[in-house]
Amino acid sequence: MSFNFKRSYKFAIKSALYITVFGVGFVGILSHYIFHPDQDHLTAFLIVFAFSLYLFSFLVIQYRVEVFIYRRVKKIYDDVSFLESATVINQPITTDMATLTREVKKFATEKKMEIETLKIKEAYRREFLGNVSHELKTPLFTVQGYILTLLDGAMKDKTLRKKYLERAEKGVERLVYIVQDLDMISKFEMGDLNLSFDKFNIVQLTQNVFDLLEMKAEKKNIILSFDNKYTKPIMVSGDQEKIQQVLANLVVNSIKYGREDGYVEVGFDVLENGKVIVRVKDNGEGIEKKNIPRLFERFYRVDKTGARTEGGSGLGLSIVKHIIEAHNGKIHVQSEFNKGSEFSFTIEKSK
């Protein structure tokens, strides 16, 4: 700032000096030839004249320059309107130049960042649309295929009719799941989802989830259990239905990506800070390190080829993360490829 301050004054000092030198020289020579004054008088006159002229020019130049720069600075401020022009009024113009440079730089960086985020969002949106249509296409074509076959004559055969209708129904069910998941995610993203907070026993809730998923686990001979005996209830506060969904999604994943004859183990820890940490652990296929950061993205699946028999649309963990974050909790993954995974999340403990 002090640098600019000096520069602005330097300009006025120098310009005033040029004017004074010219003015005094010109007037001195003119008076000398026209009025023939005596030398002492002329010198005294010229000194006073030089002094007054210098002072006057200096003040006028300094003032005019300030007004000139100020108007332009203000116009820039107004044009880009990133800083209230009121804040520059009544400040020395030299300071404004410093502020302006700083603000313009800040403005440019902000705009650049804004453009970058917009570009990322746009790419994300495009990918999302592609994903949605891709996910819907498969079950939709399945349903269409069965219906067309039925119409083409298969409906005359009683056993085929039932079989194909059941398969079509499976496809419709899958469509409904995807749409429900998408609906929930979009509600979370718009902040439209109201949680209804309750106090409940997380141990009991986990047991309910185990009961619901027992059949699914049995198909792969996977044992669902707790890591300890939890004789006392652990009361937490949250939306019970949503937390049940979180547990179900995590346990289903552990079953789906678990190995035959494996296990899924759930454990709880009460933390000092009034939170409970819930861990869902399995000895399944695990996740490679490079895939972990993207797990919670919508539609993200490790195996995209669909070659694997298991696997959904990749929305489950995205929903889990939304639900936990809406409860002010955190979710965390630890996984070792081919060994197993542990998903843990925190939830508020209730008294």
Binding to ligand ATP (CB under 6 A) within 295-324 occurs at: 295, 300-303, 311-318
170 phi-psi bin (left φ>0, alpha ψ -120 to 50, beta other): alpha
Binding to ligand ATP (CB under 6 A) within 260-289 occurs at: 282, 284-287
CA 114, CA 252: separation in Å to the nearest integer?
Answer: 39
Stretch 143-182: interaction string toward ligand ATP, x if CB under 6 A? ----------------------------------------
DSSP 305: S
Cβ 247 vs Cβ 320: under 8 Å: no
Binding to Mg ion (CB under 5 A) within 305-324 occurs at: 316
Compute the CA torsion angle 106, 110, 116, 121 (nearest 10 deg). Answer: 170
Please, which residue, 276 or 319, has the CB nearer to Mg ion?
319
Please, which residue, 240 or 313, has the CB nearer to ligand ATP?
313
Please, which residue, 146 or 296, has the CB nearer to Mg ion?
296
Q: What value, to the nearest 5°, has the Cα angle with vertex 251 and ends 248 and 254?
A: 150
Q: Is 62 in the site for Mg ion (CB under 5 A)?
A: no
Q: Give Cα separations from 98 to 93, 132, 242 (angstroms).
A: 9, 51, 54
Q: Is 237 in the site for ligand ATP (CB under 6 A)?
A: no
Binding to Mg ion (CB under 5 A) within 235-264 occurs at: 253
Q: Give Cα separations from 67 to 6, 61, 96, 193 (angstroms).
A: 17, 10, 12, 56
**Contact with ligand ATP (CB under 6 A) among 257, 263, 268, 345:** 257
Q: Token pair of 47, please? A: 């000194």
Min dist CB 311 to ligand ATP, Å, is 5
**Residues lying near Mg ion in the complex (CB under 5 A):** 253, 316
**Residues lying near ligand ATP in the complex (CB under 6 A):** 249, 253-254, 257, 282, 284-287, 295, 300-303, 311-318, 341
